[in-house]
Amino acid sequence: MRALTLCAAIALTSLSAVASAQEEEPVAPYVQSDANAGAQPISDPEVLAAFNGRDGIRRIANRTVDLALADPQLGPIFRPFDMVRLRRTLNEHFCYLLGGGCTYTGRDMTTSHADMGVQTRDFNLLVRHLRTAMEEEDVPFAMQNRFLAVLAPMHRDVVAR
Amino acid sequence: MKNALLAAPVCVLATAVGAEALARDLVWGGKLPLTRGVTSIEGGTGAGLATWALIGGNATEDGVGVSAFYTVIPLSDYDFTAYGMAVGLYDRVELSYAHQEFDTGSTGTLLGIGEGFTFEQDIFGVKVRLIGDALYDQDRWLPQIAVGVQYKQAEHGALISALGGEDDSGLDVYVSATKILLDRSLVLNATVRATDANQFGLLGFGGDQQGDRTAQVELSGAYMLSDRLLVGAEYRTRPDNLGFAAEDDGYDVFAAYAVTDNLTLVAGYVELGSIATFDDQNGAYLSLQIGF
């Protein structure tokens, strides 16, 4: 009986582990709005095309998260947080800002980075990984800069003061 | 007057650095490639001839960075060499030192001062960033603005006097504005410098034609070809204080390549016009720079 209970407990734990790998952890309620994206989207269709549309943007967002998690400096900053949610909201964020027509459902930059303790060095490291992901997607350098110009002012809200 | 001008930035430095240092642990490095700029011939962050508002070293506002440089400009009738180092404190204050040598080579014989006669000077700089961020403020037109002083001490005071120079030391005061227009891959800079330096100070300060400081401008424009390669051009006006020899404006074109985050190579072409009666002084601009 004890063995059965133990087995059941292990099974349940494994099940919840599997579930948590696919589902997002709850966050405190907030008002969803595209305004949370922190910038107006780029309306130039050439930029969206340079990023290979929504598919390219998804690859870039996922690759950026992969590179950040593998980074010895950034990994420990990201790992305590919900990576399922991050991948979704980062993809939405990029897609919205690049004029891909997505809705951004995440929190604003100040709230979403409040507990991360991000310093300028970390912000810049993520920019480097994003550059790498954009390079791998063959986004021309000038087009990368169009996007980074939209993201750069978020430094004010992302970096802990 | 000179002491007061030097004391002001030092006080700002002490206040800015003191407050920041207490608040955080020191973080080394962290700037993106090339965003520490390169070192100008006068030792502070800039490009080639011009000084910019950026702070040297790789450190962000959370740390202290250092950089060092060695630059040669083999001109038509002279050889110009400069080397030195800079310390960047919390991306706020830059302290710099440069030594410049101007070897007259065989031209020295023609000038009657002897073959290989070398004019030299030391330049001590302090720069304080006042407002704006050249890189992150992409949603604002406000550039990064810094003010600075460069105290210059030239050697060969007796010869400088004989040539009509008023002094063998001088103080340049400048205001510099730098803006990265990321969505156009451009870097722009404008600097206004109050100076009485003759040939950057190598031929002394003030002269028989003009004794006081005059306002001069330094304009730079550069295009980012990648996050490691920048190509640009610069124009710098200069005073014309000495009666015995005219001094012209200078300009250059350059390419700066960040081989690694710690090593940058700069190659270009410079024209400095007439120097000590020898016209059309131009040549290659070659610089090796390291930064941490």
Does B183 sit within 8 Å of A145, measured CB to CB?
yes
The answer as to whether A139 is a domain residue is yes
pLDDT band at B25 (very low <50, low <70, confident <90, very high): confident
Q: How much is the pLDDT for B28?
A: 84
Place of tokens 């949610």: A85
* Mean pLDDT within B108-132: 97
B154-200 pLDDT, tens digit per residue, is 999 999 999 999 999 999 999 999 999 999 999 999 999 999 999 99
pLDDT band at A16 (very low <50, low <70, confident <90, very high): very low
Residues 8-47 of A with CB under 8 A from B: 39
Give the integer Cα–Cα distance in Å for A155 and A153: 5
A124-151 pLDDT, tens digit per residue, is 999 999 999 999 999 999 999 999 999 9
Q: Chain A residue with minimal CA distance to B90?
A: A120
Please say if the pLDDT value at position B241 is more than 70: yes
Q: Please name the member of A124, A141, A149 whose beta carbon is closest to the beta carbon of B183.
A: A149
Give the integer Cα–Cα distance in Å for B171 and B93: 18
Residues of B in contact with A142 (CB under 8 A): 185
The answer as to whether A107 is a domain residue is yes
Q: Is A156 on the interface with B (CB under 8 A)?
A: yes
Non-local CB neighbours of B235 within 8 Å, separated by 6+ positions = B217, B218, B219, B220, B249, B250, B251
Looking at the structure of chain A, the number of domains it has is 1
The answer as to whether A66 is a domain residue is yes
Give the integer Cα–Cα distance in Å for B173 and B5: 9
Non-local CB neighbours of B259 within 8 Å, separated by 6+ positions = B228, B265
The answer as to whether A47 is a domain residue is yes
Q: Which two tokens stand for residue B190?
A: 């404008």
Give the integer Cα–Cα distance in Å for B176 and B147: 6
Residues of A in contact with B183 (CB under 8 A): 145-146, 149-150
CA proximity to B203, closest of B237, B248, B155, B171: B155
Shortest distance, CA A127 to any CA of chain B (angstroms): 8
Q: How much is the pLDDT for B15?
A: 53
Q: Chain A residue with minimal CA distance to B261?
A: A128
Q: Please name the member of B27, B183, B227 whose beta carbon is closest to the beta carbon of A121.
A: B27
A60-115 pLDDT, tens digit per residue, is 999 999 999 999 999 999 999 999 999 999 999 999 999 999 999 999 999 999 98
Please say if the pLDDT value at position B127 is more than 90: yes
B60-70 pLDDT, tens digit per residue, is 999 999 999 99
The answer as to whether A117 is a domain residue is yes
Q: How much is the pLDDT for A14?
A: 45
Please say if the pLDDT value at position A12 is more than 70: no
Q: Please name the member of A142, A155, A156 whose beta carbon is closest to the beta carbon of B185.
A: A142
Q: Please name the member of B30, B60, B136 whose beta carbon is closest to the beta carbon of A156.
A: B136
Whether B156 contacts B17, CB under 8 Å: no
Q: Is B135 on the interface with A (CB under 8 A)?
A: yes
The answer as to whether A127 is a domain residue is yes
Mutation target vs A (from B131, B138, B142, B226; most A CBs, 10 A cutoff): B138
Distance from chain centroid for Cα B123: 10
Does B139 sit within 8 Å of A146, measured CB to CB?
no
Q: Which domain holds residue A140?
A: 38-158
**Sign of the alpha-carbon torsion through B55, B56, B58, B64:** negative
Instruction: Give the 3-state secondary structure of residue A158.
Output: helix
Q: Which two tokens stand for residue B118?
A: 């070398």
Please say if the pLDDT value at position A15 is more than 70: no
Mutation target vs B (from A44, A121, A132; most B CBs, 10 A cutoff): A121
The answer as to whether A29 is a domain residue is no
CATH, residue A45? 1.10.490.10
Residues of A in contact with B27 (CB under 8 A): 119, 121
Give the integer Cα–Cα distance in Å for B64 and B24: 12
Q: How much is the pLDDT for A112?
A: 92
Give the integer Cα–Cα distance in Å for B88 and B67: 8
Interhelix angle A120-136/A141-151, nearest 10 degrees: 150
Higher pLDDT, B224 or B25: B224
Place of tokens 């290989």: B116
Give the integer Cα–Cα distance in Å for B86 and B237: 24
Please say if the pLDDT value at position A26 is more than 60: yes
Does A120 sit within 8 Å of B62, measured CB to CB?
yes
What residue ranges define each of the domains in chain B, with the CATH number in brackets? 2-286 (2.40.160.40)
pLDDT band at B1 (very low <50, low <70, confident <90, very high): very low
Start-to-end Cα distance in chain A: 56
Please state the ipTM of this predicted complex: 0.89
The answer as to whether A111 is a domain residue is yes
Q: Please name the member of B30, B137, B140 whose beta carbon is closest to the beta carbon of A120.
A: B30
Q: Chain A residue with minimal CA distance to B23?
A: A161
Mutation target vs B (from A145, A150, A158; most B CBs, 10 A cutoff): A145
Does A149 sit within 8 Å of B137, measured CB to CB?
no
Give the integer Cα–Cα distance in Å for B45 and B52: 6
